[in-house]
Structure 1
Amino acid sequence: MSAPSVPPQSDGGQSGRPGRKPGPISDGVGPTHRAWLEPLRTRFLAGGLTISDLSERSGWAKSKISELLRGAGLYPRWEITHGLLQVLEIPTWPMRRLWMAAALEAHKKPDWIDGCIQKVALTTGPVEPPLEHQAFTDLNRDAYTAYARVFLEDQEAFEAVQETFDLLWLHWHEALASSDVVAFAWPVLRERVMDRAYHSEDGHPELTHAAFNTLALSHLTDDDARFRQIAESLALFRAISRLPAPQLDVMVLTHLLGLDHAAVADVLGTPIAAVHSTDRYARKSLTTVLGPQHDPGDAPA
């Protein structure tokens, strides 16, 4: 799932007119850069403006704007990014946090980042997220981080979770307008994690390092037993990684992280009956692939 779209804004009574659209986002754009670039492009494309309009209203050259919208060339400076945010009426503070994280991802030095930031005075949007957003963050950070660590190293997991909360701040009004904020938020986290996770050639996220970190291995002293456990764990986690996304998530939260079904329902924003059903189908699928001796309920948390 892509980051939720930003609703179109009024163009001041000016009707949209055809114009050259930006090309697709460049392949080399990193996940954090893409996280802020996609909603900016969505707002631009939904607003009925052209690149020429953005150039006239922001004062930046069309070539620079085109590069920024495609993620082409050098990582964009904050001055031009901020200029487009103002024209498109996108909240500045969460975007600045995302821009800074993406700058580090692009190997920009802190001095370069600070120099860009100091050239622009922020005058739009609140400095802190809404109180409801802060409460949501406090409530879900631990579970989100634990899920991310199943697929990522600690630093990458931290970045994915922080990026998720920044995106939710950016889209908070849309989240509140949805049928369920929790259900709105989970796909945002999942995409941020999966964008960073290593995937096998067939496109499935790898859980190999989770297999080596299971508690069962730490209790085995016999080398032969350890190798058997490693082989069994690798087979089980490989099979789990190939489950459909809802089943994979329930397996990870329940059988790797040790949450009960009620807690899983709270994290996913899913009815507990749906969690029961998803768990049952996932177990059935794993039993079909691995045999009845591989009960995911025995997988160590």
Structure 2
Amino acid sequence: MRETYLASGLTLNDLSTRVRFAKSKLSELLRGVGLYPRWEIVYLLATELGMPNWPLYRLWCQAAYEAHKSSEWVDNCTEGTPILTATHTAPPLDHRAFRELVETDYLFFAQAFLDDDQRDAAVDDTFNILWLSWDDALASQDTRRYAWNVLRATVMARTPHRDGWPELGSAAFDTAALRSLADPSDSLNQIAESLELFTAMSRLPSRQLDVMVLRRLCGLQPETVSALLGVPLAAVRSDERHATRFLESLLCPPPTEGTAP
């Protein structure tokens, strides 16, 4: 909403006059500070700025619950205030087609970092944010890359971090290797190895991490990863090679000089 306001050329005075809210309240909302805003002011601003209000409403509701607002508070905020307009109840056709094309793979990626509820919420938020900024996505150098950056930012905002690095530990208990083991002792060994691997993976640069998650945890082919990320196939293969070497250097370091083989 702040980006749309800045691009509109309107001033706070203009908005204050049109929506009949104090400039201080509008400034707080657009800067993301102060108390969580009621739907009424968000709706009025969205209408004035020409933003589709249905995805904004869904994001507003989700964030309200995450801010520990009750269902009663949400209902009271929306009572008597329009939520939808006839022209904004469905995303553009090309947005819907794009979602159908990539949603399953987006869910696979998010699953590596989040539990089921958080995963679904993150992916849903991603497509709502994309709906709000769909014109920008289409005008970008690559819509797929634009969308992936939105997904990644949304997933990482919900992902637990340790020492500044995203945690991949929970994914260790859902690998194909673990499910195929019959001996419990083998399972324990595999868990330890997986946790060590995922800890090391979390230290990778962002795109190398994305490639390794999609290739090694999600089992996607390089061509599919290239299409999802919106980067050349050669870049995917290069990122995978560099990531593999980095992980090998951490997990299987060469013997130090003077050490018996």
Shared fold, TM over 0.5: yes
Residue 101 of structure 2, aligned match among 139, 154, 159: 139
Deviation readout 1:36-60 (Å, 9 max, x if unpaired): xxxx122233444443332222101
Report the CA distance between 1:86 and its aligned residue: 2.5
RMSD: 2.1
Q: Structure 2: which 5+ runs fail to align?
A: 255-261
1:32-43 pair list within 5 angstroms? 40-43=1-4
Residue 242 in structure 1 maps to residue 203 in structure 2:
yes
Report the CA distance between 1:236 and its aligned residue: 0.8
Deviation readout 1:161-204 (Å, 9 max, x if unpaired): 00110111111112122232111110000000000000111x11
Residue 64 of structure 1, aligned match among 5, 25, 35: 25
For 2:259, the equivalent position in structure 1 comes to none
* Equivalent residue letter for 2:130: L
* Equivalent residue letter for 1:180: D
Residue 188 of structure 1, aligned match among 137, 150, 174: 150
1:1-301 pair list within 5 angstroms? 40-121=1-82, 122-123=84-85, 125-201=87-163, 203-291=164-252
Contact 1:250/1:278 (8 A) holds in 2: yes
Deviation readout 1:203-258 (Å, 9 max, x if unpaired): 11001111133232334344543332222111111111111111101100011111
Report the CA distance between 1:89 and its aligned residue: 2.7
* Equivalent residue letter for 1:81: V
Q: Which has the larger displacement, 118-127 or 205-214?
A: 118-127
Contact 1:207/1:238 (8 A) holds in 2: yes
Q: Distance in 2 between matches of 1:180 and 1:45?
A: 23
Report the CA distance between 1:292 and its aligned residue: 7.5
Deviation readout 1:252-297 (Å, 9 max, x if unpaired): 001111111111112112221211111111111111121279xxxx
What is the number of equivalent residue pairs in this alignment? 253
3-state SS of 1:267 partner: helix
Contact 1:93/1:125 (8 A) holds in 2: no
3-state SS of 2:35 partner: coil
3-state SS of 1:287 partner: helix
Contact 1:92/1:124 (8 A) holds in 2: no
Tell me the percent identity: 51
3-state SS of 1:52 partner: helix
Contact 1:211/1:237 (8 A) holds in 2: yes
* Equivalent residue letter for 2:59: L
3-state SS of 1:258 partner: coil
* Equivalent residue letter for 1:151: F
Q: Distance in 1 between matches of 2:86 and 2:5?
A: 18
Contact 1:92/1:125 (8 A) holds in 2: no
Q: Distance in 2 between matches of 1:75 and 1:124?
A: 27
Contact 1:211/1:230 (8 A) holds in 2: yes
Deviation readout 1:18-74 (Å, 9 max, x if unpaired): xxxxxxxxxxxxxxxxxxxxxx12223344444333222210122322332233343
Deviation readout 1:113-157 (Å, 9 max, x if unpaired): 233334223447421011111111111111001110100011001
3-state SS of 1:151 partner: coil
Q: Distance in 2 between matches of 1:42 and 1:214?
A: 40
Q: Structure 1: which 5+ runs fail to align?
A: 1-39, 294-301
